[in-house]
């Protein structure tokens, strides 16, 4: 059968003599599957304002987006008050029980951990309830209505807020649900997740927990991805799969997000025992937290997808018995054209081991049937396959390093403004690496050994993922299993018949369905700085499809000399074409994605005034300052003592003129000794100008070995566990100031209190030179900040 074992280079998993028609048909089939996958990841057409009342309409929701994101509206600002009044008016206009929860709440997660202490905020959450007919629990639709100070939040999170308003309208237009549906529009998410924390911890409607659907955005376009769930999510995912009209979500994303130090309002609800789903669209990240995040840049298809899913899930959870949603395991799930595949998480390791056994059986039969010469040939193919797995991600990193060297402004962006060409360049580079490797190694060890090597690595990765990241094991386990079964089928049938071609094509299609969405979604999720991860999965996809690739490979058969040489040259053509494409795509990216007035280079600048010395500084977080920023700052300084809260390390700094900005005032209300000899002070920090945050820090050497034993801020007890710094940050302080009640071991040195407050608007300062049109503001919570600090000794 085939050629003798002494010529392993001519062996394949499919037919020894290929018909061009079969090869083309296999390729067309894979391309069709890939196109179907991409279509399934696209956003739906936005519905017009005259859509049926029971449907979600992006156009109706967009009218609220324009009001909410008319200008920046940071927590505590007059602009945020106006947004809140609009939300209350809309919800009450729908006949819903609506209130404003006005409270002080601590931070959820660790967003401000680097700011040096415990973080709190005054929050005013908008809460409305649609009573159920026979409740088994409550469904909470959550989004935040505040924005960052540097942008109006057209997407983040006017998209989520307006979606909830439109969902509320659609629900009130139909029959009442069985369960209560509560609409929670939170405050101060951008500052500290404090609004969600305050609601989840203390609002009466949250007392018994429930199901949370959190709606977010971290960009301006792209499919809405359900990227986070509560633990033991199998039943939740089942509802998502059958009720969301556009169910894009993966258990791999959930695993990765759980491992990252990122938080949203969803974190606060998880901390208080809620279950639920967290969703966002994330592409177009260049506008994130910047002045460019306006309603005009929003992809209304993404808004439509957000609303369709939220409405479908609200209706389904609204009629589901919510008392039985906690299952005993997490599900494994991923999108396929037309739906969501899901299976119990406890199957992950058995399936991974089955894939490994199937690949092992394939290797045994390849040797037994003479498809490879020796065991050593198989082992060589295995280790050679590691080369593209390592080289492609490294090449992607080097490519992006070269691009950012040419265009250093990219370093401050999540993604370029027009990232598509660069993403294509990374994929083309991965293809070039794979095809080059295949052309160089195919004749040495044969396509069968290389195909086995690819499947073996996929199976091994599957076992490793099953042990460490179970929700991601399907990514390599299922393609490995499908490829191994296809190889066994090919060996078990007549090699010159049609079934081997069908088998390897089906296996390749499985790999495309599973891995292509991952490659596509990883780019916006991680940014091009981590494009090597997408390149890795692109190579894994290529390895899984190797038998189909080999169908297209020119065959030299038993020929020698010129014919074999021509075959090798023709086999190298895809590698050269892919390498050329990578260069061309990167070049086009550099040509079309230039910084200009509508796509400005991001810059970061702050102003800090020390009221004790009268000296001021310009400060920047930019590691390699842009030319505009370079006009303000030079060397690095550590400001953590003088301006605690502005940074946890060295910043770029430069001298600035002292502005006529009043420092916050610290008033001693009481100073007593407790029964156990500790010192208890009550002070009030009062800003002397409108500010969005204030902070109070104690000198560490003032405290004895007993440290601080109790703290209450604005009437809210503070949990001091895990608070490393002796300080407090308070967002959205009222004009009358914030009271601090602190008890500590006073056996140390004299007490010094460092008070700081901060507002926004560098253009108010003399010495500030306005940015040119092509220079913008980086997405940051401290961009454009004006901070004033003063020390008080008691």
- Reported as a single tens digit per residue, the pLDDT across 581-628 is 999 999 999 999 999 999 999 999 999 999 999 999 999 999 899 999
Q: Is 322 exposed, middle or buried (0-12, 13-18, 19+ CB in 10 A)?
A: buried
720 pLDDT more than 90 = no
Nearest to 732 by CA among 80, 98, 38: 80
Per mean pLDDT, which range of 57-61, 531-535, 705-709 is the poorest?
A: 705-709
**Confidence bin at 261 (pLDDT 50/70/90):** confident
Q: What is the pTM of this model?
A: 0.92
pLDDT score recorded for residue 15: 41
Integer Cα distance of 427 and 585 in angstroms: 10
> Residue 546's pLDDT is what?
86
pLDDT of residue 554: 53
Beta strands in 161-210, from DSSP E residues, in sequence order: 180-186
668 vs 18, higher pLDDT = 668
pLDDT one-digit tens code per residue, 776-788: 999 888 999 999 9
Task: Please say if the pLDDT value at position 372 is more than 90.
Answer: no
Q: What local confidence, expressed as pLDDT, does residue 373 receive? A: 75
Rounded to 10°, the helix 474-491/447-468 angle is: 150
Contact assessment for residue 687 and residue 664, using Cβ atoms and an 8 Å cutoff: yes
**pLDDT bucket at 724, cuts 50 / 70 / 90:** low
Confidence of residue 79 (pLDDT cuts 50, 70, 90): very high
Contact 752, 793 (CB under 8 A): yes
Cα–Cα distance, 754 to 633 (Å, whole number): 25
Q: Which structure tokens are listed for 754? A: 């460092």
pLDDT at 14: 43
3-state secondary structure of 630: helix
pLDDT score, position 647:
75
Mean pLDDT computed over 446-460: 95
What's the pLDDT at 311? Answer: 98
Give domain limits for the chain. Answer: 8-40+345-554+564-592, 58-318, 603-794
Cβ-Cβ contacts under 8 Å for 633 (sequence gap 6 or more): 605, 618, 619, 620, 622, 625, 651, 652, 653, 654
Q: Specify the pLDDT at position 228.
A: 97
pLDDT score at 675: 85
First to last CA, the chain: 94
Report the pLDDT value the prediction gives residue 557, as an integer from 0 to 100. 45
Superfamily of the domain at 58-318: Zn peptidases (3.40.630.10)
Question: Cβ distance 225 to 249 under 8 Å?
Answer: yes
Are 604 and 409 in contact by the 8 Å Cβ rule? The answer is no
Containing 370, the helix (H) or strand (E) segment is none
The residue among 157 and 324 whose pLDDT is bigger is: 157
Show the tokens assigned to 678. Answer: 């500790």
Q: What is the mean pLDDT of residues 397-409?
A: 96
pLDDT averaged over the chain? 92
Is residue 560 over pLDDT 70? no
pLDDT value of position 569: 58
Cα distances from 693 to residues 122, 584, 665, 683, 777, in angstroms, run: 10, 48, 14, 17, 20
Q: What is the pLDDT of residues 50-70, one digit of tens each?
A: 999 999 999 999 999 999 999
pLDDT in tens, 416-439: 999 999 999 999 999 999 999 999
Whether residue 19 has pLDDT greater than 80 = no
Query: Around Cβ 102, how many Cβ atoms within 10 Å?
Result: 11
User: Could you tell me if 146 and 751 are in contact, meaning their C-beta atoms sit under 8 angstroms apart?
Assistant: no
CB 429 within 8 A of CB 402: no
For residue 499, the model assigns a pLDDT of 83
pLDDT at 650: 86
Residue 33: pLDDT above 90?
yes
Nearest one of 715, 741, 714 to 730, comparing CA atoms = 714
Q: Which of 120-134, 349-363, 397-411, 715-729 has the lowest mean pLDDT?
A: 715-729
CA 331 to each of CA 249, 254, 262, 474, 790: distance values in angstroms, whole numbers, following the listed order: 12, 10, 22, 11, 54
Distances in Å between the Cα of 634 and the Cα atoms of 619, 630, 760, 774, 776 are 9, 7, 22, 22, 20
How far apart CA 779 and CA 210 sit, in angstroms, is 33
| Distance from C-alpha of 115 to C-alpha of 735, rounded to nearest angstrom | 22
**Residue 25's pLDDT is what?**
87
Which pair of tokens denotes residue 293?
């995040």
pLDDT at 13 over 50: no
CA atoms of 551 and 22, how far apart (whole Å): 8
Helix (H) or strand (E) holding 139: strand 138-144
């Amino acid at each position: 059968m085939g050629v003798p074992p002494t010529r392993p280079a001519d062996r394949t998993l499919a037919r020894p003599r290929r018909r061009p028609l079969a090869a083309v048909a296999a390729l067309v089939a894979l391309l069709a599957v890939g196109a179907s996958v991409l279509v399934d990841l696209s956003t739906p057409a936005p519905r017009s304002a005259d859509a049926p009342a029971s449907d979600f309409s992006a156009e109706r929701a967009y009218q609220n987006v324009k009001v909410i994101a008319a200008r920046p509206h940071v927590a505590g600002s007059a602009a945020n008050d106006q947004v809140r009044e609009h939300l209350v008016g809309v919800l009450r206009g729908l006949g819903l029980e609506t209130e404003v929860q006005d409270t002080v709440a601590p931070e959820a997660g660790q967003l401000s951990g680097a700011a040096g202490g415990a973080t709190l905020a005054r929050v005013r959450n908008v809460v409305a309830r649609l009573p159920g007919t026979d409740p088994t629990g409550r469904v909470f639709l959550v989004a935040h209505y505040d924005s960052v100070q540097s942008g109006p939040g057209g997407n983040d999170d006017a998209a989520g807020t307006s979606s909830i308003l439109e969902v509320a309208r659609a629900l009130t237009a139909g029959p009442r649900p069985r369960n209560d549906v509560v609409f929670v529009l939170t405050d101060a998410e951008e500052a500290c997740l404090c609004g969600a924390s305050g609601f989840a911890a203390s609002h009466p409607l949250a007392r018994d927990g429930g199901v949370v659907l959190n709606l977010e955005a971290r960009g301006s376009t792209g499919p809405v991805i359900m990227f986070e769930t509560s633990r033991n999510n199998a039943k939740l995912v089942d509802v998502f799969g059958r009720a969301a009209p556009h169910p894009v979500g993966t258990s791999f994303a959930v695993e990765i997000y759980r491992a990252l130090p990122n938080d949203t309002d969803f974190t606060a609800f998880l901390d208080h025992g809620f279950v639920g789903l967290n969703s966002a669209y994330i592409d177009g990240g260049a506008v994130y937290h910047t002045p460019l995040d306006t309603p005009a840049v929003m992809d209304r298809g993404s808004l439509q997808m957000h609303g369709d899913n939220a409405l479908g899930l609200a209706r389904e959870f609204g009629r589901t018995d919510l008392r039985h949603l906690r299952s005993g395991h997490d599900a494994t799930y991923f999108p396929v054209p037309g739906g969501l595949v899901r299976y119990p998480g406890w199957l992950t390791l058995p399936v991974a081991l089955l894939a490994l056994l199937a690949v092992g059986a394939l290797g045994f039969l390849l040797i037994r049937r003479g498809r490879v010469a020796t065991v050593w040939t198989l082992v060589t193919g295995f280790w050679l396959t590691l080369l593209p797995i390592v080289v492609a991600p490294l090449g992607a990193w080097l490519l992006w390093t070269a691009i950012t060297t040419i265009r250093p402004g990219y370093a401050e962006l999540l993604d370029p403004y027009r990232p598509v060409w660069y993403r294509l360049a990374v994929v083309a580079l991965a293809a070039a690496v794979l095809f080059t490797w295949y052309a160089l190694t195919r004749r040495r060890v044969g396509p069968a050994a290389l195909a086995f090597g690819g499947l073996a690595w996929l199976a091994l990765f599957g076992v490793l993922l099953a042990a460490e990241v179970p929700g991601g094991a399907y990514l390599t386990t299922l393609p490995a299993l499908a490829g191994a079964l296809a190889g066994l089928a090919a060996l078990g049938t007549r090699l010159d018949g049609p079934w081997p071609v069908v088998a390897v094509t089906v296996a390749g299609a499985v790999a495309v369905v599973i891995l292509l969405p991952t490659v596509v979604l990883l780019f916006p999720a991680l940014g091009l700085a981590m494009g090597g991860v997408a390149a890795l999965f692109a190579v894994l996809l290529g390895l899984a499809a190797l038998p189909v690739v080999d169908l297209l490979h020119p065959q030299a058969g038993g020929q020698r000399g010129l014919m074999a040489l021509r075959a090798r040259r023709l086999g190298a053509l895809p590698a050269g074409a892919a390498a050329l494409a990578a260069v061309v795509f990167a070049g086009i990216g550099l040509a079309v994605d230039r910084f200009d007035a509508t796509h400005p280079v991001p810059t970061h600048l702050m102003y800090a005034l020390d009221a004790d010395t009268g000296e001021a500084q310009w400060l920047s977080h930019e590691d390699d300052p842009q030319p505009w920023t370079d006009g303000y700052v030079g060397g690095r300084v550590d400001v953590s003592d003088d301006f605690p809260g502005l940074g946890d390390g060295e910043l770029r700094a430069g001298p600035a003129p002292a502005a006529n900005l009043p420092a916050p005032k610290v008033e001693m209300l009481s100073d007593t000794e407790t029964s156990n000899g500790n010192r208890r002070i009550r002070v009030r920090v009062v800003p002397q100008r409108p500010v969005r945050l204030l902070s109070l820090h104690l000198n560490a050497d003032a405290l004895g070995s007993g440290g601080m034993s109790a703290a209450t801020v604005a009437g809210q007890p503070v949990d001091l566990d895990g608070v490393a710094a002796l300080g407090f940050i308070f967002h959205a302080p009222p004009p009358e100031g914030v009271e601090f009640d602190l008890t500590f071991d006073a056996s140390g040195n004299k007490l010094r209190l460092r008070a700081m407050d901060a507002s926004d608007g560098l253009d108010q300062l003399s010495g500030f030179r306005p940015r040119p049109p092509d220079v913008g503001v980086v997405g940051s919570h401290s961009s454009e900040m004006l901070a004033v600090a003063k020390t008080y000794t008691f």
